[in-house]
Amino acid sequence: LRVVRDRRALAQALAELRAAGNGIGLVPTMGYLHAGHGALLARAAEDGLLPVLSIFVNPLQFGAGEDFARYPRDEAGDLAAAERFGAVLAYLPDGDDLVPERPEVVIRAPALMRRLDARARPGHFEGVAAVVVRLWGIVRPDAAYFGEKDAQQLAVVRRLARDLAVGVRVVGVPTVRDADGLALSSRNAYLSPGERRQALALRAALAVGEGRIAAGERRPAAVAEAMRRHLAQAPGVTPEYAEAVGPDRLDRPRRILGRTLLAVAARVGTARLIDNVRLWVPLDGPATPLVDDPPGEAGRRAQVARRRLEAVLAERAPQAGVAWRRAVCDALRGAAALDGPTVRAVLAQVVGRGPLGTVRIGGRDLDELAAVVWDAMRSASAISKEPSRKLGEIPKGVPRPQD
Ligand code: PAF
């Protein structure tokens, strides 16, 4: 593991790695590394990239009265862990090397940054965006890896990468949990042994939500309320929110279908904890875990499949704007199983109320997939012989076709 502390040394080290023909997988962290960070680094290696890590407790993302000063720090432990987890290069910026001055430019994604955690932490995601975009600019990685545990952060950085066309692939990596189900987090260090037991209520609340969906409940408000009630009854736990939303736009759908994020936040002792589960909810049958970014070759195939699907839609529905095509492709991303009726229903939902979010397409032949999706779209009347009339039904906020 090579350790660098300023941008010149970082640029030099990256140039050497690239000269040897390697791609770079960046894992931005705030240190106090645990197995969740290990999974991000391992995933970069699995994708054929050299795992490069940054460790920086970013003051821009902490509000007044938050835990910046006491955020756990352990440089020696982190470097040992980074080496163990297979990182080849670690950037630990000295002093103001990464953020020399308070940025004048503020990056805002208003809809994404005012929901869920942003209500309790105004300005947090602007601070995250400022430092992530800076790191992307300095490191220029091929891909950047973020944990699904920070679901809103993941949604924000995905959108940043897309809107700013930074040329970085954002990869979400599943949450790593302790054997008893507690999601790993550097902030778990704040918990006493008793509070740690109480903190299991977050995962239990999510299980309640999953149970309601398994029992056939499809109203987001009812699922959210069941999770909130569970948190409220748990000893030592002060609930902050419980939600059932789409994982990309983070808004409540009319009905739970396809890509779904159950998310909770609560205070336990002095720690503010968050947790979530990501599900693919088919029209019929049990929900399955949502796998947005399958590792290695499967991930590459899924990516190719999405591009192909977009191309097919562009060819067969040229009237539809690119944002609409993206919404369709996104809404169908990550499903463990893709069945015709569900595809039809999801597409109908996209047309009926705007983008849902994104889906994966396990193992299908790409041509067959494109045909299945297109057939499903036709039979759902999402786009047929009268695309402009149908597209006229797209609600506000989703681009109209170019007539
Ligand atoms: O997830 C984190 O640790 C931080 O929010 C990040 C992405 C490193 C930005 O400071």
- Residue 341 pLDDT greater than 90, yes or no: no
User: How close is the Cα of 112 to the center of ligand 1, in Å?
Assistant: 17
Give the residues surrounding ligand 1 with Cβ less than 6 Å away: 28-30, 58, 61, 128, 131-132, 150, 153
Convert 219-228 to b/e letters by CB count within 10 Å (16 or more is b).
ebeebbebbb
Task: For residue 369, name the pLDDT band (cuts at 50, 70, 90).
Answer: very low
pTM for this predicted structure: 0.87
User: How close is the Cα of 192 to the center of ligand 1, in Å?
Assistant: 24
Ligand 1 atom 6: the closest Cα is on which residue? 29
User: How close is the Cα of 156 to the center of ligand 1, in Å?
Assistant: 12
pLDDT of amino acid 292: 87
Q: Which atom of ligand 1 is nearest to the CA of 128?
A: 9
Residue 37 annotated among the catalytic residues of the structure? yes
User: How close is the Cα of 128 to the center of ligand 1, in Å?
Assistant: 6
pLDDT of amino acid 153: 98
CB-count burial class (<10 Å; 0-12, 13-18, 19+) for 53: buried
Ligand 1 atom 3: the closest Cα is on which residue? 29
Lowest mean pLDDT: which of 170-184, 263-277, 329-343, 383-397? 383-397
- Of 54, 128, 136, the residue with max ligand 1 atoms within 8 A of its CB, to mutate for a pocket test, comes to 128
Q: Which atom of ligand 1 is nearest to the CA of 30?
A: 3
pLDDT of amino acid 319: 60
pLDDT tens for each residue of 211-250? 999 999 999 999 999 999 999 999 999 999 999 999 999 9
Q: Which of 34, 37, 124, 230 is catalytic?
A: 37
- Residue 380 pLDDT greater than 70, yes or no: no
pLDDT of amino acid 73: 97
Long-range pairs for 69-75: beta carbons < 8 A, 24 or more residues apart: 71/30, 71/32, 71/186, 72/31, 72/32, 72/186, 72/187, 72/189, 73/31, 73/32, 74/31, 74/32, 75/31
Tokens 């036709």 sit on residue: 378
pLDDT of amino acid 344: 65
User: How close is the Cα of 257 to the center of ligand 1, in Å?
Assistant: 30
> Across all residues in the chain, what is the average pLDDT?
85
Residue 229 to residue 95: CA distance in whole angstroms: 45
